[in-house]
Amino acid sequence: MNPPLIELQDLVFAWPGQPPLLEIPALRLDAGEALFLKGPSGSGKTTLLGLLGGVNLPGQGRIQLLGHDLATLGQGARDRFRVDHTGYIFQQFNLLPFLSVRENVELPCRFSRSRAERARLRHGSVDQAATELLAHLGLNDPTLLARRAGSLSIGQQQRVAAARALIGQPELVIADEPTSALDADTREAFIRLLFDECRAAGSSLLFVSHDQSLAPLFDRHLSLAELNRAAKPREA
């Protein structure tokens, strides 16, 4: 039985000088799973994603990614671990505007040798990997690939971000509100594409959003407000 991708146990986190923001007894994500996590802004989801990325360390409890306890790794090691095994998609402004589309997609391979290796193994070269991923996501035009990333539409940018997150087949893809800036029509199409690619790469997907309507598309859905014991009840 494969170890779970993410396993949280008795996590407690508080910013210095403040009451605990997160108190999560358990959270688990298995390999190949697509999990929808409902978390409106201010609910501590950004902090949770930061913890999962190894940016911060919990005050109490354990975070394990691929069986590795993040707390045992040093700052630099956590950074490396993150890029080796995780891809990120944010709500907007994902791309470096002064680099071309292709270069943006290839960024993780510049910083992670293992992802570059995996991309080469699967597609022949990092260049090929970028081209094929973008093609799968509907961006075929070679002139587009050479254009500066800042000149693309929001929808196109999000798809480029997805390609970047997926290059080199990281085990985990974390998407933080990736569709909130898209209009309703493109939203579903984007999610479909994302699912397809994650499945093809064998990556798990952790999708965080406040938009409840998307939840049914996923294998599992959870609410951060319910998970988090430290969350204050909001409903009047």
Q: Confirm or reject binding of residue 164 to another protein (CB under 8 A).
A: yes
Site string (121-160) toward another protein, x via CB under 8 A:
----------------------------------------
Among positions 43, 64, 91, 169, the unique one binding another protein when judged by CB under 8 A: 91
Tell me whether residue 112 or residue 179 sits nearer to another protein (CB atom): 112
* 152 contacts: CB under 8 Å, gap ≥ 6: 95, 101, 144, 160
3-class secondary structure, 29: strand
Residue with tokens 């587009």: 144
Shortest spacing between CB 48 and another protein, in angstroms: 11
- DSSP class of 15: -
Tell me whether residue 32 or residue 150 sits nearer to another protein (CB atom): 150
Q: Which helix (H) or strand (E) holds 127?
A: helix 126-136
Pairwise CA distance, residues 104 & 165, whole Å: 10
Q: 126-136 vs 101-111: helix axis angle to the nearest 10?
A: 130
Residues within window 31-50 making contact with another protein, judged by CB under 8 A:
46, 49-50
Tell me whether residue 55 or residue 217 sits nearer to another protein (CB atom): 55
Closest by CA position to 216, among listed 89, 36, 41, 39:
36
Closest by CA position to 178, among listed 196, 168, 165, 197:
165
- DSSP class of 55: S
- Amino acid letter, residue 22: L
Shortest spacing between CB 168 and another protein, in angstroms: 10
Shortest spacing between CB 110 and another protein, in angstroms: 5
Site string (99-128) toward another protein, x via CB under 8 A:
x-------xx-xxx----------------
Chain positions contacting another protein, by CB under 8 A: 46, 49-50, 53, 55-56, 75-76, 79-80, 82-84, 88, 90-99, 107-108, 110-112, 164
